[in-house]
Amino acid sequence: MSVPTKRRHMKPSDVFRRQIEKDRFKKDRFLMERRGVWQYNRRVPHGVRDVIEDAPLGVRRSSGSTSLLDARQWRDQVEREDNLKWLSVMEAVEKGKPSPYQDWQQLQAGNVGGEMSEVERDILRGFLEDQMDRLLRKEGLGHEFFRHGWDSPDIERLVSQSTQAQGIVTQLARVNGRVGWLEAAEKRVEEDTALAKSSAETLLQSAKKFDAMKLALPHEITRLNARDFLRKLAKEGFADSYMKRLQTNARMILTWTFPDDLEKHDVFKGHRIRGAKSDRKLPFYPEDLERLFNTPAPNPVISAYIRAGLYMGARPSELLDGVFDEEQQLFIVGEGEDGAKTDESVRKVPVHPQAAEFLRVVGGSDVLLSSMQYNFRIWRNQAGLSNRLTLHSLRHSFATRLSSFKVERHRIEKLQGHKQSGDIHARYAHVRAQDLREEVEKLDWHSVVPNWAAD
């Protein structure tokens, strides 16, 4: 005589998960056609009705579609949201915690975003994997994926060409904690309100470089990965200054993404790998400017930009983002919504009478910095000048010219928005950039360059 076994009591969440596993193989689960329109009909589990007092026995929603294919895709999204919300209610109660939703209306309006529990993560992972399986079978790549996985060239081609595949892969990566560099950088740019616009652009460019060169993802990168990446950059001839900038930006992303993981913060520290020695930037001399102005400019904006930059000494991005106060004849840097690179960069620079006209032209244009750099390179090469002359050389020219007039170093630094040096003048002589009009008006580019006015 057999002894009857005692039936094991299952938690409501376990019962619901088991039901989800059974339902996932039903192609048209929860769908019902009514008057040619597909509807979503589903019973609310007991575990939810026991907690949410005003929860109905079932839910019914209209897809608004007469297409079964569209209805299935819509159903998958609605089903996933219901699963996550209902499981979060049951799991919270089983752990002795308050329900995240107090009534049925709040549950219906709830957002499934934010931090997911492990149960919710497993459900979403299964949902996304099902979607990917269906897509691979549709493309006839199911067997290929089974044999070679994501490394298959055919699978890589599908992901690169299909928007649907890219979306699934991105969501899977997020569910598995595999956030890419660009996504992590975009998160910092979005959340860090103190980040200047120029720093944000540089951060995003570096993140794109990390992803393009297939650097290990932020959550799995190690010091060994960082070392190999730097060696690869050095081997390909990247400048040492560029490599240092990439390392700084990588640390900015890692410290924001993993604020408590000190080991992550240091993966790019202490690597003695040098890149190619970068050429030092040259200042513009009067003879260089004469040759440049003898060559027709690609457009009037770049011509005005060069002339304004020689008198302002601002960074390339500051000339485009700054505001010209014509009433006080001051150029305001770093006080707008674009922010400033550093605290010292926030300043008001006196405008030389010769620069006012050119600042109006630059301020009235919508040209991006990348376009300005491109046009300058064309103009520089046509004039036969050294490629060591860049838009940043305008700052060198400004400082070099003022130094020739014996202007003190700390005054030049204040005008250019540099961090003050440690000499005695910088420490005790407190000056403001807007009070240095006399120093700015010593500049005489319009008189030392014979064809200054010609264009």
Give the tens place of pLDDT for each residue, 346-391: 888 899 999 899 999 998 888 888 889 999 999 999 999 988 899 9
Residues linked to residue 276 through DSSP beta bridges, in sequence order: 239
Average pLDDT, the chain: 82
Sequence ranges of the domains in the chain: 28-106, 117-177, 181-265, 286-448
Top-confidence range, 179-183, 250-254, 361-365: 250-254
**Does residue 402 surpass a pLDDT of 70?**
yes
CB of 385 closer than 8 Å to CB of 375: no
In the prediction, which pLDDT does 7 show? 45
CB of 418 closer than 8 Å to CB of 341: no
Q: Rounded distance, CA 3 to CA 292, Å? A: 100
Q: Are β-strands 31-34 and 330-333 bridged in parallel, bridged antiparallel, or unpaired?
A: unpaired
In the prediction, which pLDDT does 121 show? 65
In the prediction, which pLDDT does 454 show? 58
Q: Rounded distance, CA 141 to CA 50, Å? A: 45
If pLDDT is split at 50, 70 and 90, which confidence band does 111 have?
low
Q: What is the mean pLDDT of residues 224-236?
A: 88
Give the tens place of pLDDT for each residue, 269-319: 888 887 766 667 788 999 999 999 999 999 999 999 999 999 998 888 888
Domain 286-448 has CATH 1.10.443: yes
Q: Rounded distance, CA 14 to CA 16, Å? A: 5
SS (H, E, C) 376-432: HHHHHHHHCCCCCCCCCHHHHHHHHHHHHCCCCHHHHHHHHCCCCCCCHHHHHCCCC
Residue spans of alpha helices (H) in 62-176? 68-94, 104-109, 118-138, 142-148, 153-161, 163-175
Residue 396's nearest CA partner among 314, 292, 289, 318 is: 314
Q: What is the mean pLDDT of residues 158-164?
A: 80
Q: Which residue type occupies 376?
A: F
Q: Which residue has the higher pLDDT, 152 or 174?
A: 152
Q: Which residue has the higher pLDDT, 230 or 421?
A: 230
Give the tens place of pLDDT for each residue, 68-79: 888 887 888 788
